[in-house]
Amino acid sequence: MKRIAIIGLGLMGGSLGLALKAVGGYRVLGYARKPQVAARARERGAIDAACPDLAASAQADIIVVATPTLAVAEVFRGLGPYLAPGRIVTDMASTKEQVGRWAEELLPEGVDFVGGHPMAGKETAGLESAEASLFRGCTYCLVPSPRARPQAIAAVVELVERLEARPLFLGAARHDYLAAGVSHLPFLLAAALMTAAAADPAWDQLAQLAATGFRSATRLASGDPKMNGDICQTNQAYILHWLDRYMEELKDYRRLVAEAGIEEALARAQKLRGQWLEQRWGQSGPGGDHD
């Protein structure tokens, strides 16, 4: 059995452990900064055993770093001295250019780094929200380092496919540009809508009127502020690009509302979303939470 060590046992790491335990074929080890988190992960059946430190985690065949993005550098630095040639390191962070630079700088030669980012999530964070089916059907982005061996890449692809996810190979810059548009921009829009509405003097009444539309539009505002803050810090340029594009689009919509000519734009948006739902999800639409 391949030994997999998961470093970080929150929503993503915990879900990965539960999924791997469900499919079998791996001995799953886990490390968390707080020992009680690792103990709880074992109680939940997400790991077979807890690693006492990063040195023990480095002995696994595949090491998966599932921490918030800015913590990845610290983990790489701690793992580096203990990683033997042939070890495979991957991650689950939402940005890939910065993580790739840290891997190049902090991981020793002979270690294969294959960056990863599952396009899946929930509005609630933490181990208690973890579920084995989180990655089922999702696109799982893979960004191998230039020096990663083919057999190491194949091992990570096998892991992803065991999760019933779809591997998609991308360059780091391309990944960060695309993710900024369809993942990072949406949580900022949700947060801005929430804070704008709550700042209005009529918020008490607005809160009573707000129903499923407002709830759906602000869902991502419930995400982990630390995780999302790290994303904004490590993907700043592309997020600013998409914010600028969105604000230009909003200016056009404002003009159309003022001129009572918004219907054509709304019809176009409806058609485009319908085509996307049909292509990506089928007529029934998405069956769960995907970011």
pLDDT tens digits, residue range 110-134?
A: 999 999 999 998 888 899 999 999 9
pLDDT tens digits, residue range 219-249?
A: 999 998 999 999 999 999 999 999 999 999 9
Among 135, 170, 205, the domain-final residue is 170
Beta-ladder partners of 117: 141
User: Percent of the chain having pLDDT more than 70?
Assistant: 97
Residues 164, 188: one domain? no
Dihedral sign for Cα atoms in the order 208, 212, 218, 221: positive
Which of helix, strand or coil describes residue 75? helix
pLDDT value at 83 more than 70: yes
Read off the pLDDT band of 280 (50, 70, 90): confident
Beta-ladder partners of 168: 141
Domain housing 152? 2-170
Stretch 176-196: mean pLDDT, rounded?
A: 98
Residues 149, 184: one domain? no
> In total, how many domains does the chain have?
2
Residues 15, 142: one domain? yes
Residues 179, 198: one domain? yes
pLDDT value at 43 more than 50: yes
Q: Which residue has the tokens 């840290």?
A: 102
Residues 222, 84: one domain? no
Q: Which CATH number goes with the domain that contains 98?
A: 3.40.50.720
Distance between CA atoms of 242 and 225, rounded to whole angstroms? 20
Beta-ladder partners of 116: 142
Read off the pLDDT band of 266 (50, 70, 90): very high
Distance between CA atoms of 213 and 290, rounded to whole angstroms? 17
Residue at 286 is within a domain: no
Residues 15, 45: one domain? yes
What does pTM read for this prediction?
0.93
